[in-house]
A and B are shown apart, each in its own frame.
Chain A
Amino acid sequence: MSEYQMISDVLKKNKVLPKNNLTDKIMSAIDEEPTQMGGIIKTNSSNTAVLSFEIWPVLGSLAVLVVIASTAFNIEVNSVSTSQFLAIEDIPKEIINAHHAATANNMNYFIQVGDSAK
């Protein structure tokens, strides 16, 4: 906390002296505060703040979040996978080359793939 002083007090030489033993005073004030040791405080305690903890509503909320996330982000939750529609650029070149290498009657296709030799 900052200390403020009026200008008039300074001019009148009414200085506000810095407080002494400030640290000790703060520590003693902390010591006077109650310490909370347990997780659940009885609601009828007059000296403590009450925190009520219900687990089942929280788990239910989490489950709903998981379902929403899996739907929104297409996370696989089982082994079935959705397929995409085939486009020309999806065809691996090695598939075409392997087919022609094994079956072609056109020499241009035939030379494209084979076993490298040394």
Chain B
Amino acid sequence: MTLFKKLLTLLLLFSPLAAISMDDPWDILEDSANASHALNYEGVFHSQSSAETNSTHVIHANIDNKEYCSLKMLDGDPNEVFCAGDLVYVISQDGLLIKKRKNQFLFPSVLPSDINHLKKNYQLSFGEKNRIADRMAQLIVLRAKDNLRFNYHIWIDEKNFLPLKLVVTDNKNKTIEQSTFTTIAFNKEFNKEFKKDIFEKNINLSKLYATKNKFVENYVSNKFWNLKDLPAGFKEVDLISRRVNGLNLLDYQLIFSDGLAYVSLFIRPIPKGTEPKEGTVTIGSTNISAKYLDGYQIMSVGMVPPETVNTFSGSIEF
């Protein structure tokens, strides 16, 4: 074999690796985020947290640049979720619930569109390739740069970049939560008949549903609080206010995110006769911290280390 042929052979063998190392490695996450919104796919994935496990059948379609999805629980109560754009319809034994999708990134659409925010808080590295749901997938590890958040391990389909598996670990490498596809098929043709078949059996998309719960508001006219010394990397992404049942008072939910992790900070007036609570507890994969401040119960909740929720609870001042 001539020297030229040997060099050519070596180049062909190592070019995939060269391609990854020469491009910005963060681009793969951006491609993955786009894939989860753009691709048509159908499959079954299995989710596990410390408290429970369940399987879900998912159909996702992008029709005329609008996302539609159908998720059906295969274990326990036969609940179903349908998405059409940013509206989410939940069908359960309690009836039909409607939510507006703002910060919910249901698996496999777990990556944010703004990857730059992730760069400040996580270190990216590549792991081994593994076979997931009969597809080859590249492991991407997003390791926290500090102790304020957990680590995210994402297996991305090497051909179309869809996340196939997600594992969240704490600072001691203990698994907190994971979701993984067990079967998946791509390039299915979904058209307007898909909407008719899936949605209109359960939901009339042309009907304007009126919500029974009139207590949730997204408008706050008078913020009476200040935030100081927030944990690094988190920024406020939403604010929800609700009327306290039976009282002419509002309680508030501030939502913060670093791009992957979310923390809710609740400011709730304490009714007379109720003792305020202080301390930190863990429920499953979620840590909760509570503090009392000038007649208000402050609570922060999130799948983040206890130190982080403690810092959030202490960041409020009136």
Which residues of chain A have a CB within 8 Å of any CB of chain B? 79, 81-88, 90-91, 95-96, 98-99, 101-108, 110-111, 113-118
Contact A115/B104 with A86-B281, A106-B177 known, Cβ cut-off 8 Å: no
- Contact residues in A for B104 (Cβ distance below 8 Å): 101-105, 110
Contact A81/B292 with A88-B283, A102-B255, A107-B71 known, Cβ cut-off 8 Å: yes
Knowing that A101-B99, A102-B264 touch, tell me 19 more A-B residue pairs with CB under 8 angstroms. Answer: A83-B275, A84-B275, A86-B278, A87-B277, A91-B281, A95-B301, A98-B264, A102-B102, A105-B104, A105-B105, A105-B107, A106-B106, A107-B56, A107-B71, A108-B47, A116-B96, A116-B213, A117-B98, A118-B96
Partner of A115 from the list B92, B99, B257, B275 (CB cut-off 8 Å) is B99
Say whether B264 contacts A116, CB under 8 Å.
Answer: no
Say whether A103 contacts B288, CB under 8 Å.
Answer: no
Minimal beta-carbon separation of A51 from chain B (angstroms):
44
Query: Please, could you name 9 A-B residue pairs with CB atoms under 8 Å apart, sorted by A?
Result: A83-B278, A84-B276, A95-B266, A102-B253, A107-B71, A111-B81, A111-B97, A114-B99, A117-B96
Minimal beta-carbon separation of B76 from chain A (angstroms):
8
* Binary CB contact string for chain B from 75 to 91 against chain A (1 if under 8 A, 0 otherwise): 00001010000001010
Minimal beta-carbon separation of A71 from chain B (angstroms):
18
Say whether B79 contacts A102, CB under 8 Å.
Answer: no
Tell me whether B211 is interfacial, beta carbon within 8 Å. yes
A107 to B299 alpha-carbon distance, docked (Å): 24
A86 to B88 alpha-carbon distance, docked (Å): 34
Minimal beta-carbon separation of A77 from chain B (angstroms):
15
- Contact residues in B for A87 (Cβ distance below 8 Å): 277, 279, 281
Tell me whether B26 is interfacial, beta carbon within 8 Å. no
Say whether B277 contacts A83, CB under 8 Å.
Answer: yes
A3 to B269 alpha-carbon distance, docked (Å): 75
Tell me whether B95 is interfacial, beta carbon within 8 Å. yes
- Contact residues in B for A115 (Cβ distance below 8 Å): 97-99, 211-213, 216
Say whether A118 contacts B209, CB under 8 Å.
Answer: yes
Closest residue of B by beta carbon distance from A108: B54
User: Most chain-B Cβ atoms within 10 A of its Cβ — which of A81, A95, A118?
Assistant: A95
- Contact residues in B for A83 (Cβ distance below 8 Å): 275-278, 292
- Contact residues in B for A95 (Cβ distance below 8 Å): 264, 266, 288, 299, 301
Say whether B98 contacts A98, CB under 8 Å.
Answer: no
Tell me whether B210 is interfacial, beta carbon within 8 Å. yes
User: Most chain-B Cβ atoms within 10 A of its Cβ — which of A96, A110, A117?
Assistant: A117
Contact A111/B107 with A83-B292, A88-B281, A102-B240 known, Cβ cut-off 8 Å: no
Minimal beta-carbon separation of B112 from chain A (angstroms):
11
Say whether B90 contacts A86, CB under 8 Å.
Answer: no
Say whether A108 contacts B73, CB under 8 Å.
Answer: yes
A113 to B54 alpha-carbon distance, docked (Å): 18
Contact A111/B255 with A102-B103, A116-B212 known, Cβ cut-off 8 Å: no
Closest residue of A by beta carbon distance from B303: A103
Partner of B264 from the list A79, A99, A105 (CB cut-off 8 Å) is A99
Partner of B301 from the list A79, A96, A110 (CB cut-off 8 Å) is A96
Say whether A118 contacts B275, CB under 8 Å.
Answer: no
Say whether B90 contacts A111, CB under 8 Å.
Answer: yes
Tell me whether B189 is interfacial, beta carbon within 8 Å. no
* Binary CB contact string for chain B from 227 to 261 against chain A (1 if under 8 A, 0 otherwise): 00000000000101010000000000101010000
